């Protein structure tokens, strides 16, 4: 796992976020998301620098729309968010409520 994934996983595994279970590298349809909570219907994606390229952005947008069409919310954070502002990221995840 990339460093940012290791950092976030260490914080969300073991039901550390309000008792919700997260799985890592979870398959949804034909995609694999970085982290997924079935109870919250929440996928979390971490984006490194390569996600800034135009072709990758376009792919990510289509991929996210496909996942969201299944009723799953996708939260995206950059690797820099994880490394430089982890407490804010954890607060956003903790406060997430699926609006299905």
- The CATH number assigned to the domain holding 51 equals 3.40.960.10
How many domains is the chain partitioned into structurally? Answer: 1
19 found inside a domain = yes
In this prediction the pTM is 0.89
Query: pLDDT tens digit string along 17-36?
Result: 999 999 999 999 999 999 99
20 found inside a domain = yes
99 found inside a domain = no
Parallel, antiparallel, or unpaired: how do β-strands 73-78 and 42-47 relate? Answer: parallel
98 found inside a domain = no
Domain coverage including residue 7: 3-91
Sign of the dihedral through C-alpha 65, 91, 82, 9: negative
> Residue 17 and residue 15: Cα distance in Å, rounded?
6
71 found inside a domain = yes
Contact 98, 41 (CB under 8 A): yes
72 found inside a domain = yes
45 found inside a domain = yes
> Residue 64 and residue 100: Cα distance in Å, rounded?
16
Query: pLDDT tens digit string along 39-89?
Result: 999 999 998 765 455 677 788 899 999 999 999 999 999 999 999 999 999
- What is the three-class DSSP state of 72? coil
């Amino acid at each position: 796992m990339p460093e940012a994934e290791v950092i976030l996983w260490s914080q969300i595994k073991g039901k550390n976020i309000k008792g919700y279970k997260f799985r890592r590298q979870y398959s949804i349809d034909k995609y694999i998301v970085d982290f997924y909570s079935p109870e919250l219907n929440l996928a979390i994606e971490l984006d490194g620098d390569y996600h800034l390229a135009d072709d990758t952005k376009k792919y990510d947008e289509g991929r996210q729309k496909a996942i969201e069409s299944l009723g799953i919310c996708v939260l995206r954070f950059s690797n820099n968010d994880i490394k430089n502002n982890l407490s804010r990221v954890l607060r956003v995840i903790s406060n997430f409520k699926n609006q299905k």
